[in-house]
Amino acid sequence: DTLESASGDGESLYGGTVPLETTKSGSSYQLKDATRGGTYTGDAANKTDQCLLTICLSRAPATLFTDADNHWATGEATDRATAAVDAQYGTDVTWDYYEKVHGRSGIAGDGKGSYNRVHYGKDYNNAFWDDTCFCMTYGDGDGKLLGPLVSLDVAAHEMSHGVTSKTAALTYSGESGGLNEATSDIFGTLVEFYAGNAEDPGDWLIGEKVVRSGLGREALRFMDKPSRDGESADCWSEGLADLDVHYSSGVGNHFAYLLAEGSGEKTVNGVGHTSPTCDGSAVRGIGRAKLGKIWYRALTVYMTSSTDYAGARTATLNAAKDLYGSGSTEQKAVAAAWSAVGVR
Ligand code: ASN
Ligand code: ZN
Ligand code: CA
């Protein structure tokens, strides 16, 4: 069969009707985007990977989704293609964000796409990036705590783990692990704002579309005040490195929020935020675009596998100096935001 790129659309679970660039193969269409490095989405068929660390005896499949008329899914969770539409759309928008905003073509910067696996396991309450398959994987959730983990911010979070792996390669434990997680939450959020999807507008919450009533809170994580999740750290302290990386990320997430939006009360896209500083200082925000520029340059030029929070302060100060000049308002704001979360 000859393969050619085709423009279709899909009914997603969280983002309404979304555009999809697909591949026409004979008389049907594949959920594979040649304009974004061949990024595709497959069905994991409710199976799981059977692995010990990086050695896998078996892997869940990634059976490519196909459609007869290039108008994908019903938007109902019961249609297996619906979560696939969300995942493909999420990684499309993330691809575009890295390309248009940072000049990066794909996860490795080589123009090559990756793939998504949806319907991983049964009642699986997680999503993850895996360096060994170089792919993103999403559970359906148990329906009580979480629903399908295919929202924009989660897809962008997972794909950004791939970018981190190919750049700073922050070790996934201790403070560097917290920075690795914060990097994924920061870009997950900046992608959500970038997408401008009316049904899933940008906010500083992670997983707000995914949570269900049994979880008892409105999101998985909260960047304005990370301790709103009951576990994450708002402020740096001795011993931070002993926390799970999804909680020590709080310090980086709090920094990012303060740098972009500033301290105090603020409503963004109709969502109210309160961000107290750790030292009582007032921080003036420089906006989300500059946060993205500074963090991306710090990640790709200055951070290394062993960077800790003190090192992240230095890396972002260097990035701000490169981008905006020594002693610039932006560089001073970076210093003020780190000091405000206890990284001096
Ligand atoms: N959802 C988690 C994450 O991407 C999976 C994990 O614990 N690595 O961080
Ligand atoms: Zn993560
Ligand atoms: Ca969000």
User: Tens digit of pLDDT for each residue in 31-74?
Assistant: 999 999 999 999 999 999 999 988 999 999 999 999 999 999 99
Residue 54, pLDDT score: 81
The mean pLDDT of 65-93, rounded to a whole number, is 98
Residue 44, pLDDT score: 99
Helix axis angle for 288-297 and 309-324, nearest 10°, is 110
Domain at 3-166, CATH class: alpha beta
d(CA 21, CA 17): 13
Residue 210, pLDDT score: 98
Residue 124, pLDDT score: 98
Domain edges within the chain = 3-166, 174-340
Q: Is 185 in the pocket of ligand 1 (CB under 6 A)?
A: no
Instruction: Compute the C-alpha angle 36/38/44, nearest 5°.
Output: 120
Query: Quick check: is 246 catalytic?
Result: yes
Q: Is 126 in the pocket of ligand 1 (CB under 6 A)?
A: yes
Q: Whose Cα sits closest to atom 7 in ligand 1?
A: 128
Query: Quick check: is 76 catalytic?
Result: no
ipTM, interface predicted TM-score of the complex: 0.96
Q: For 150-179, write each residue's pLDDT tens digit.
A: 999 999 999 999 999 999 999 999 999 999
Residue 2, pLDDT score: 83
Residue 244, pLDDT score: 98
Q: Which CATH superfamily is domain 174-340 in?
A: Neutral Protease Domain 2 (1.10.390.10)
> Would you say 13 and 77 are in contact if contact means Cβ atoms under 8 Å apart?
yes
Q: Which residue out of 11, 157, 158, 273 is catalytically annotated? A: 158
Q: Is 128 in the pocket of ligand 1 (CB under 6 A)?
A: yes
The mean pLDDT of 323-343, rounded to a whole number, is 98
Of all ligands present, the nearest one to the C-alpha of 153 is: 3
Residue 76, pLDDT score: 98
Residue 1 pLDDT greater than 70, yes or no: no
> Would you say 107 and 134 are in contact if contact means Cβ atoms under 8 Å apart?
yes
Instruction: Compute the C-alpha angle 85/88/90, nearest 5°.
Output: 105
What atom of ligand 1 comes closest to residue 246's alpha carbon?
Answer: 9
d(CA 87, CA 59): 19
Residue 53, pLDDT score: 84
Q: Which residue out of 246, 261, 273, 330 is catalytically annotated? A: 246
Cβ-Cβ contacts under 8 Å for 280 (sequence gap 6 or more): none
Residue 187 pLDDT greater than 80, yes or no: yes
Of all ligands present, the nearest one to the C-alpha of 200 is: 3
d(CA 252, CA 309): 8
Q: How far is the CA of 177 from the centre of ligand 2 (A)?
A: 9
Q: For 248-304, write each residue's pLDDT tens digit.
A: 999 999 999 999 999 999 999 999 999 999 999 999 999 999 999 999 999 999 999
Residue 233, pLDDT score: 98
